Structure 1
Amino acid sequence: MTETPAITVTRLWLIRHGEPDAEVRGRCYGRLDFGLSADGRGQLQPVAKRLASESLSAIYTSPRKRTLESAEIVAAHHACGVRIENDLREIDFGDFEGLTYDDIAKRYPELYGQWMEHPTKVEFPNGESFSKTRARVTKAVAMLLDRHAGQSVALVTHGGVIRIVLAGALSVPSANIFRIAQRYAAVNLIHFVGNHPVVELINGVLS
């Protein structure tokens, strides 16, 4: 009699960074690098407390300061430390980086209109397209899931990246991806039963 192979269950925690420093609020930012505000660091404390009892095998973060600082707060309760995964970075908005939305509308009126109407179809000047971002994020997460099959792993990253992972798990098309909310320091959880995702939590905000 042939034995049925055991099915592995992998727990993937997706955590958005906390509130950013005040100087970039109201501006377009992806590649732009800056840290957390005092409130942002405070937002991560209940997240760290919630995950303190979770046996995390690894904590991965994008290379941006806001995610790295957030990941270090979570990692304070774990022995695995923090690993940087470059492909978990947010989309690069190119020439839009650091500009206010009013500035973008004035300087690039046609492209701004396209962005507001079809946000996932625009390729930002000297930046990335959404399709390229989705491809790199999807590839990176698949690699990490394969590396940590049967374990519990946390990715501390950006709202756009998390939406991409959740959209993939839920078969949400790119055009509808912004229907998925992601507040600062939001907690999300997906169980992968073998290769089949089961979304357990979306946009959980702890206090």
Structure 2
Amino acid sequence: MTDPAPIDQFRLVCVRHGEPEQRARGRVYGKLDVGLSLAGREQVRRAVAVCRAWRPTVVYASPRTRARQSAEILASALGQDVTVEAAFAELDFGRFEGRTYEEVERDYPDVYRRWMDAPTQVEFPDGESYSQLRARVLAGLKRIRAMHVGGVVMVVAHGGVIRAVLADALGLDAAAIFRLDQSYAGVSVVDYRTGFSLLRTLNVVV
């Protein structure tokens, strides 16, 4: 299950950040920069053994504090450094950032309703749409694949980012991304060859 990647293959180890600080609970947060809770740090520490089994040699992280802190815990345990990659930042919810869902529903009822009905089809006021997120995430992934041919790369990011990667690997349309569970500190692994990708594990949590 954890055999080394052949030289013509790229292996991607995706890890979602741990649980965020209490102040993010019940609020919309993507670009909003919050760190890990104590429980979140422990979740990430438990993920070390799972990640180590896949032998990553490079670690990338979203610039958001919760992802960077998670990456630093993992990289330190694995003897690696962390490279921050802006392409892997979570979706920017624009004017909704930091607001409670009740506040968003009250102040932006039409957009809120569209968001709840078709979350991948709405563009957030002064923020992004899912299609914009997907485009930048996949562009970032293309760059690191070209840089690390034959390598095993870990990306520590966010639920939306990892779902975009997994949906692309599996050939799923946007509406299907929420069928891909992404728990805090969950580990998913994808193998890539030319024109082909294989999901090795999905959302492994210890």
Displacement of 1:52 in angstroms is 3.0
Tell me, yes or no, if structure 1 residue 19 matches structure 2 residue 19.
Answer: yes
Amino acid at match of 1:10: F
The answer for the alignment partner of 1:95 in structure 2 is 95
Match of 1:106 in 2: 106
How far the C-alpha of 1:7 sits from its partner, in A, is 6.5
- Which residue in 2 is equivalent to 1:129? 129
Matched to 1:203, the amino acid is: N
TM alignment of 1:80-91, pairs within 5 A? 80-91=80-91
* 1:37 and 2:40 are equivalent in the alignment: no
Shift of 1:192: 1.1
Amino acid across the alignment from 1:145: R
| Matching residue of 2:3 | none
Report deviation, 1:204: 1.0
- Distance in 2 (CA, whole Å) between partners of 1:173 and 1:136 is 17
What amino acid sits opposite 1:110 in the alignment? D
Question: TM-score, normalised to structure 1's length?
Answer: 0.93
Report 1:28-177 matches (<5 A): 28-177=28-177
TM, length-normalised to structure 2? 0.94
For residue 196 of structure 1, report the CA deviation from its aligned partner. Answer: 1.4
Runs of 4+ in structure 1 over 6 Å off: none
**1: CA distance, partners of 2:78 / 2:31:** 28
Task: Report the 3-state secondary structure (helix = DSSP H, G, I; strand = E; otherwise coil) of the residue aligned with 1:60.
Answer: strand
Alpha-carbon contact 1:58-1:80 (below 8 Å) kept = yes
Cα shift at 1:149: 1.1
User: Which digits, 9 at most, give the CA deviation of each residue in 1:158-203, with x for residues without a partner?
Assistant: 0000000000000110122111110111100001133411001111
Structure 1's unaligned 5+ residue stretches are 1-5
- Could you report, residue by residue, the CA deviation over 1:55-113 in whole angstroms, capped at 9, with x for unpaired residues? 32210000000000000010012333000000100010000000111111111111100
In 1, the alpha carbon distance for the partners of 2:53 and 2:115 equals 42
Q: Using the alignment, how far apart are the partners of 2:100 and 2:118 within structure 1?
A: 19
Structure 2 residues without counterparts, runs of 5 or longer: 1-5
What corresponds to 1:3 in structure 2? none
Q: 2:204 maps to which residue?
A: 204
- Give the whole-Å Cα distance in 2 for the aligned partners of 1:139 and 1:46: 30
The secondary structure found in structure 2 opposite 1:15 is strand
- What is the match of residue 179 of structure 2? 179
CA distance in 1, matches of 2:16, 2:62: 11
Q: 1:19·1:40 contact (CA, 8 Å) conserved in 2?
A: yes
SS of match in other structure, 1:76: helix
Give yes or no for contact 2:13–2:56 (8 Å, CA) kept in 1.
no
Out of 162-171 and 76-85, give the one that drifted further.
76-85
Looking at structure 2, the residues matched to 102 and 165 of structure 1 have their Cα atoms a distance apart, in angstroms, of 30
